[in-house]
Each structure stands twice: as C-alpha cells, then as structure tokens.
Structure 1
C-alpha cells in the first residue's frame, strides 16, 4: 500500500461506528467520538474521496433464505487472468471478483442471484463461454455463519459500542417475500452506489417525499431484504492479506461453526457449502506468516477439519459491486442487482 496514506485513530473509530450504524447522522456520532459533526463530515468526505472507505446497500439476512449465493472458482491461462477478471467484474451477478493463488483456481467469485435458475443461467450462459475460461467449479452456500456485513474493525471500546446501540441493518425473518416496485428498485440502485445518500436526495431521485422514502427504507430493512455495509481498503483495516480456506468436516461439527470459527476476530466470511469440501472460510490477516497460524487455530476449534486448499488473494478487482485498484481503494462501482 502507499506510504502516503495516513489514517488517524479518529478515522478508524469513525469507520467502526459506521460499520455498526452505517446511516447514522453525524450529530448522533459526534458525542461518541468527541468531535464536532462538521469534523466527522469532513473526515468521511476525505475517506470516501480517496477510496479508503465507503457505505453501500447490500443484501440483508433474508437473502440467504430467498436468494442464491455461490462461490465460483475459475481456471484460466495466467496471461488472461487480469483481462478476464475485468470482464467478469462488469457482470452484476459477480458481486466480488478476486485474483487468487491456488492449485485449483486463478479467480474466485462471489455470485448472487435471485434464485437457483438464475445461478445456472449465469454460470452456464454468461461465465463459462467467456474467452479465456478453461474451467469452472461452482459451490453453493447452504449456510452463512458470518460475512462482511458483520465483520468489525475493532477500534471502539465496549462502552462506546454500548452507547452506539444496535445496528441499523435489517433483522427481519423475511417470511413474507416483498413485492419490489419501481421505487424500491430505484432506491436500492442509488444506495448500492452510496449507502449514505440523504433521504431528501433519494426523494428527489424517485419523485416522492422524504417521509415516503423513510417508510420504504424501513420496510426494506425490517424485512431483512436490505442491509448497509461500511467497507474499507487495507490501508484502513491494516489487514492486507486475504486467505480462503476450503476444507471438509463432519456434519455435526459443521453445524457448530457459528460457535467456533465464526467467533474468531479475523474471520471475514464463514459458510457451509456444497461439495466434498463443505467448509469455506475467509480471513483478513496482517501478513502471510499468519496463514499457517490461522489454519492451526481453525483445526484446533474443529478437530475433524481437513483443509484441502489455501486460496491466497492476490488482488481484489471488485468487492460487493465496487471496483478496487491495486491498493484496494474504491475507484468505481458496478451496482449489484441481486434483488
């Protein structure tokens, strides 16, 4: 990462606060962080302007019950990898695209579609025929025990978190599917670009009132369909190394993942998946030397776990719809449309 990046303790505390309450007004966060609201606004403008942090709309907890999540491993010629990654990044279903070092794959994708048919269509008709693709392996997430929405930076102390209160993100059961109208989809599209877009601006965009926007957003988040996520570049997280472990464990121990591996602070993603390797876990780490330590810790928590692949992230081209440069800074957006 660039030596010119300077991230202060206040920046770190602000990002952590926005992970918990992504759309909180600056007036709510100012007393907690001990500065004026205008100072927070300036800090955030700098972080977003430099691509160091951002807030965006993402699928909420009910998506795992109504939609389809898959991890797709793509093999290609080494010389075609960057060009292919850039091309795949333009596909809205491929919400995350990572160039990786692995014995079995050159690219790793997170793919979200509204249903299983959409996933088959994407893999079979859009991805596999692309020039340069030599092979595709697709595994489906059957349970998501933790993911990026729930991961925290760890810059606030327990007393600050207590004052901050619970997250704004949806926690609804989603038992009754919502019938999304044109206004809902317009809101989701705008918030996928910038999750902190003001209600007044959303009202102007949709030709409605701020009160109507507030009701619609409340409905979407309460249903669990919509959530908000504050994400960041490695210069902010201090965790430049990404590793994804693939492995197999007994069914009984897979059912205990949320009590074991999901509690580890550097675990960014943990899922039970289809296939012979039925566990997939992604960690963000400080250095490459930590990879073996985390594997050892994971196997200690899950005695039956046999790690079958260690997928090292070389570069993330796209994360949850946002295009990243070589240093992991946001440089653009291809909004996701999984709803």
Structure 2
C-alpha cells in the first residue's frame, strides 16, 4: 500500500468501529441492531475496513495488568535516524509505539523483567538511534486502546451491551497463566469463536467463553478496535508535558478528556505526559483549559506522524501496513 491519502470513513464505518471499540467480540447481529443496519452490511463494511488497513481489532492489557506485570518508559530518540534504523526500531516487539514528533522520535518501551531489563532495552536502542531522554512510567491512566470515537448514542450503546453475557457475582477470574494463554491466543484474532478458542486451549467451548467473560469482567483483558485516525478526521496530534500538585489526579482527569489517547505519570520534573489527537492544533488551548487550573503545561510537542501503535506499523496516512506482535 502506498502513502496516498486514506479515504474518509462514512457514518456506518464510524459507528461500526465505535461498536467494536466497546465490544470487539459482539455478534455481528447485535452490532447491526445497535447501529441500525443489517448484518450483511456490517460484515461488508468490516471486510473493506480490514482490507484497506483502515481499522483493526486489538487485544490489549488493561491498566491493572500493566501495573502488575510491566515496566514502561517513554524514550526520546534523535530524529536523524536513517530509514533503515527507523525500520529496525519499529520491528522490535517490545517497542509498543513510535511517534515522530517535533522534538524527535518518541518511543514507548516495555519490559516484563523489571527495571534492569528496561534499562538494557533502552541501551539497545542506541544501535539504531541516539537516545536523548528516558522517562520511566510510574502509572498509566490511559493508553491508545482505551480511546473511543464517541459516535454511538447512549441508547445505541445500551442496545449493544444489553445482550452481553452476565458474570456470576463473586466468580473468580482465571489464574494469571490462563489469562496469559487466552490473551496470546486471541491476539491473532480477538473475534475468534469460543469453540475455536476452546480447542486451542484444550477446554470446552463453554469453559473458554466463561474464562473470557470472567477475565474481561475482572479487568484483566480488554478487546477493542483501532483505526487510521486521519480517515476519521483526526489529522493532528500533540504530546503535552505538565506538572501538578497531584499528578495522579491530573492524569485521571486527562484520561476522561475525549481528545486524550494516552496519559502517563512518569518519574521526572514534568511528571505528566499526555498525548492528544484533534482535528486541528487550534483546539489545544481549549483542551489544556479543560484539563484543570492546577495543571501547568511546561512543554508541547507536535506529532508529525504516528509510525507504530500497539503492534501495528502505520503508513503516512495512518493505515495499518504490518503487524508486529507485541512481546515484552
């Protein structure tokens, strides 16, 4: 696929993506009822979105799983890296995101074996690019898979959720190893039928379905849908660095803003890092004001283009052109 401008998403596309952001495993008939079209139309639109790289399903850790199993760092690298070096950065499975910004390449680096491993991985990046700065995350209030289009009405969202299977109150979530196996299996296809999942895991269809429902209800698994942002009109992005007397509360407020797709508290002099997407950079002052009067913005970087997001390499139009399964 070349870097020609992506076609604009139509109303059905946007409604379908929002529905899958809310419940990626919902049956097509339920999705169709929620957005007001027939199931055949839903399937046709989804097939076109996938083939064009305009939308794709995600299976991603929740904040609970990040906090219990992962160390993260925001790494700023010199923007002068060669095309070959950038490609090598993108291919690393533990580099979860890459954005080209006005300050340089901003990378999201993950490690599961503690801070020493995180440090080793950041040093390893020096083989491709000069590391200018490293900020270790203390907590994650929001990340890309939590962002929503906000297209469906409240009534449509209720209809989408109305037939979700209920989880027995007090039911224990699956053990961590079982959750990891489910997540790894569904990573290749979050809509994998429960019968197929059960066969892959060596359990019955009913057991597989209950395990997914319990893990999701416990906040251990999250499924959603990502998209080429320019095709939805979100052609501008920025990274805001800020201070507040209560960084955790400020990060939580940022996570509720409709323009914010990543909010991280880091260890540093400007402990709040918030990434926003908008239709125009003229929206930034209003976004900053809505964040709250106790937040002091100390730096702003313009996102020139996203290069990788949550295991997908993106072209200049924001479309997914390659899948690099995240492993950390």
TM-score with structure 2 setting the length: 0.86
Deviations 1:132-187 (A, max 9, x none): 4322432233233333333210211122122223899x9x99x9993415xx5554
Shift in alpha-carbon separation, 1:314–1:83, aligned structure 2, 3 A:
farther
Shift in alpha-carbon separation, 1:82–1:127, aligned structure 2, 3 A:
farther
Distance 2:323 2:210 in 1: 26
Unaligned runs of 5+ in 1: none
Distance 1:75 1:58 in 2: 25
Instruction: Give 1:26 deviation, angstroms.
Output: 0.6
Deviations 1:97-146 (A, max 9, x none): 112211xxx211222332424xx324325644542432243223323333
2:50 corresponds in structure 1 to 48
Deviations 1:245-281 (A, max 9, x none): 0122223xx2432564333211112222211111111
Shift in alpha-carbon separation, 1:163–1:283, aligned structure 2, 3 A:
same
Unaligned runs of 5+ in 2: none
1:280-299 mapped onto 2 (5 Å cutoff): 280-298=273-291
Instruction: Give 1:37 deviation, angstroms.
Output: 1.2
1:134 corresponds in structure 2 to 130
2:233 corresponds in structure 1 to 238
Distance 1:271 1:129 in 2: 21
Match status 1:112 vs 2:114? no
2:20 corresponds in structure 1 to 18
Aligned length: 322
Q: 1:192·1:336 contact (CA, 8 Å) conserved in 2?
A: no
RMSD after superposition? 3.0
> Which of 33, 57, 67 is the equivalent residue of 1:65?
67
Shift in alpha-carbon separation, 1:25–1:97, aligned structure 2, 3 A:
same
> Which of 219, 222, 230 is the equivalent residue of 1:224?
219
2:293 corresponds in structure 1 to 302
Match status 1:148 vs 2:144? yes
Distance 2:173 2:195 in 1: 29
1:121 corresponds in structure 2 to 117
Deviations 1:192-245 (A, max 9, x none): 233222233334544554334324423432443221121110244311212110
1:27-42 mapped onto 2 (5 Å cutoff): 27-42=29-44
2:191 corresponds in structure 1 to 196
